[in-house]
Amino acid sequence: MKITFLLWHPFFLLFLANAGDTIQALTYDYSATTECLKEAWKAQYGGGIIQNPEFDNGIERWTNFGHGNIKERITSNGNKYIVAINRTQPSDGPSQRVQLIKGKLYAFSAWIQISEGSEIIAVKFRSPTGKFLHGGTVIAEQGCWSMLKGGIVATFSGPVDLTFETNNTSVEVWVDNVSLQPFTKKQWRLHQETTISKVRKQKVKFQVRNKDNTSLAGATITLKQIKSSFPIGCEINEFILNNTKYRNWFASRFSVTAFGNEMKWYFTEKKAVGRENYTIPDAMLQFCEQNNIDVRGHNIFWDDPKYQPTWLTTKIASKKLKKLVEKRLKSVVSRYKGRLIHWDVMNENLHFSYFEDKLGKNASAEIFSRTYELDQKPILFMNDYNTIEVSEDEASMPAKYARKLKNIVSFYREMNGGNKIIPVGIGLESRFAPGQPNFAYMRAGMDYLASMGFPVWLTEVFVDKGENQAQYLEEVLREGYSHPAVKGIVIWPTSPFSKKCKMCLIDVDKHYMNTPTGDVIDKLIAELWSSKPLNISSNEQGFSEVVLLLGDYEVIVKYPATNSCTKLKLKVTEKSTNFVYVHVHGNVCVPNDND
Among candidate residues 119, 262, 460, 479, the one labeled active-site is: 460
* Residues 6+ positions from 116 with CB-CB distance below 8 Å: 142, 171
Answer whether 89's CB lies under 8 Å from 65's CB: no
Answer whether 230's CB lies under 8 Å from 488's CB: yes
Answer whether 54's CB lies under 8 Å from 177's CB: yes
Answer whether 173's CB lies under 8 Å from 166's CB: yes
Answer whether 40's CB lies under 8 Å from 31's CB: no
Q: How many residues does the chain have?
A: 595
Q: Identify residue 225 by its one-letter amino acid code.
A: Q
Q: Which residues of 392-410 are buried (b: 16+ CB within 10 A; e: fewer)?
A: ebeebbbbbbbebbeebbe
Q: How far apart are CA 112 and CA 142, in angstroms?
A: 10
Q: How buried is 513 (Cβ within 10 angstroms: 0-12 exposed, 13-18 middle, 19+ buried)?
A: exposed
Among candidate residues 54, 238, 348, 429, the one labeled active-site is: 348
DSSP string, 344-376: EEEETTTT--HHHHHH-TTHHHHHHHHHHHH-S
Active site residue 116: no
Query: Strand 80-85 relative to strand 146-153: parallel, antiparallel, unpaired?
Result: unpaired
Q: How far apart are CA 21 and CA 307, in angstroms?
A: 53
Helices 439-450 & 469-482, crossing angle to 10 degrees? 30
Q: Which residues of 319-351 are buried (b: 16+ CB within 10 A; e: fewer)?
A: eebbebbeebbebbbebbeebbebbbbbbbbbe
Helices 469-482 & 516-524, crossing angle to 10 degrees? 30
Q: How far apart are CA 339 and CA 518, in angstroms?
A: 29
Active site residue 348: yes
Query: Strand 294-302 relative to strand 256-258: parallel, antiparallel, unpaired?
Result: parallel
Catalytic residues: 348, 460
